[in-house]
Amino acid sequence: MMFEKIALIGIGLIGSSIARAVHQHGLAGSIAISTRKAETLAEARALGLGDSYTLDSAEAVRGADLVILCVPVGAYGAVMADIAQSLRPGAILSDVGSVKEHVVKVLAPLVPKDVSLIPGHPIAGTEYSGPAAGFAELFVGRWCVLTPGPEVAPQAVAKLRGFWQAIGSKVEIMDPGHHDMVLAITSHVPHLVAYNIVGTVADLEAATQSEVIKFSASGFRDFTRIAASDPVMWRDVFLTNRDAVLEMLGRFLEDLSVLQRAVRMSDGPALEAMFTRTRAIRRSIIDAGQETAIADFGRPHGAEAPAVAEVSENSAFVARADHGGGDDA
């Protein structure tokens, strides 16, 4: 047991995955769960994710030696205002938000002196939301970035590092601004591109749209999985990591213009050289253990494959129905 009481504020995909992993590894004496809506709390209770349940986040954090905020980044200010006075002296306050500089800016002024603020970001996720979407193995083999300030005691950082390692993550310590720049290009801009390409299809006239859906396996389908990610969470990512996203988006658009020109000029060697470089990047991601080398992202084929209707019934476009994506925010 690493902590006496862990308080999870927010119990969606990430919060419920942490709860499941904490249970699985016996890392806490008790887990207190708090969320905004009564129906989400009831769902968490029905799933047996915690030991106590409350809509009052201040009550949840009372006596907790680890508090993890698992709500959209845009909600941090209001949540922090509710819990700040109830945090236990000596506690660690962390989070899982996809953006880090903004989080430090919002949380740090409200953190009591005797509480260690150690922002965190597990680079793991799927396109699903809510308490039922979580699973204990979500963090296994995935990175978790921690961004403590220089004032935080090394023992507190070591303790939180040990926590994430115990639930299967590899941990890296980073400066919050550097984190935001790296994630802008590895996660935020790719999501923006996916939202855009799927949005373009959504705006097509009906006849063309149905053909795109019919032939989606030719590439479009893989964008739809990312573009099915939670709208509120992603709205907040772009509102709070604006500068880094705009910087990376600028580079992306410059490179896209180069490709556009190569296509216009029928510059085969330029296109081939570019596609050869990108193939090497994918190979290095597989070598780093961050993706499967199985063809077609490991989708089942032939007899193992589920009926198409089964996969697509909840989605306007065909999306991946398994848990293994390792997609992140």
C-alpha to C-alpha distance for 169 and 298, rounded to whole angstroms: 22
Q: How far is the CB of 16 from ligand NAP (least distance, A)?
A: 7
**Single residue of 87, 221, 228, 230 touching ligand NAP by CB under 6 A:** 230
Q: How far is the CB of 58 from ligand NAP (least distance, A)?
A: 13
| Alpha-carbon dihedral angle through residues 321, 325, 326, 329, given to the nearest 10 degrees | -70
Q: DSSP code of 231?
A: H
Q: Does 13 bind ligand NAP (CB under 6 A)?
A: yes
C-alpha to C-alpha distance for 168 and 124, rounded to whole angstroms: 11
> Which tokens go with 112?
């009591």
Q: Does 10 bind ligand NAP (CB under 6 A)?
A: yes
Q: Does 149 bind ligand NAP (CB under 6 A)?
A: no
**Single residue of 60, 192, 221, 328 touching ligand NAP by CB under 6 A:** 328
Q: Which residue has the tokens 């016996």?
A: 26
- Residues forming beta bridges with residue 126, ordered by sequence position: none
Q: For ligand NAP, give the closer residue by CB, 79 or 228.
A: 79
Residues 6+ apart with CB under 8 A from 95: 68, 69, 70, 76, 103, 107, 119, 120, 121
**Single residue of 118, 192, 201, 329 touching ligand NAP by CB under 6 A:** 329
Q: For ligand NAP, give the closer residue by CB, 213 or 242.
A: 242
Q: How far is the CB of 116 from ligand NAP (least distance, A)?
A: 20
Q: Does 120 bind ligand NAP (CB under 6 A)?
A: no
Hey, which residues between 251 and 310 contact ligand NAP (CB under 6 A)? none
Q: How far is the CB of 60 from ligand NAP (least distance, A)?
A: 12
Q: Does 168 bind ligand NAP (CB under 6 A)?
A: no
The 120-122 sheet, strands edge to edge: 120-122, 143-146, 170-173
**Single residue of 119, 122, 148, 176 touching ligand NAP by CB under 6 A:** 122
Q: Does 119 bind ligand NAP (CB under 6 A)?
A: no
C-alpha to C-alpha distance for 309 and 288, rounded to whole angstroms: 34
Helix, strand or coil for residue 256?
A: helix
C-alpha to C-alpha distance for 99 and 72, rounded to whole angstroms: 10
Q: For ligand NAP, give the closer residue by CB, 37 or 279.
A: 37
Closest listed residue to residue 324, CA positions, set 170, 130, 132, 124: 124
Q: For ligand NAP, give the closer residue by CB, 127 or 208.
A: 127
Which residues of the chain form contacts with ligand NAP (CB under 6 A)?
10-15, 35-37, 40, 70-73, 75, 79, 96-98, 121-122, 125, 129-130, 230, 233, 328-329
